[in-house]
Amino acid sequence: FPPLLSSAARPFDFRQYKKRRVALEVSYLGGAYQGFARQDTITPETIEGRLFAALKHVRLIPEDMPSSDIAAKLRYSRCGRTDRGVSALGQVVALSLRSIARRNSVGPRCG
């Protein structure tokens, strides 16, 4: 993903926002990937690695958070995994993401 245009000019402060626990249903064609689960080896092209990169790009998780910390810090879990080249329909992952609600806002509970 290309870097965000405004990230250098205006840093994003995740502490100002509440978190929300969500479940994401993902489907993918796995032909170009090394499986679903992120790996600590040289093979970065996994579905999970691309998912984390996308969530960082849209600032739902901090850009500087190492992928190895996501499971613990964001309560990340997945329903399963696939091997290299395997496609899937309807896999589910759950994690805590940044909410649109600010911490000091008054209104309905947002996670």
Catalytic residues: 83
**Residue partners of 34: CB distance under 8 A and separation at least 6:** 43, 45, 46, 84
Q: What is the DSSP letter of 3?
A: P
CA dihedral in degrees (100, 104, 107, 109; nearest 10)? 70
Distance CA 111, CA 108 (A): 9
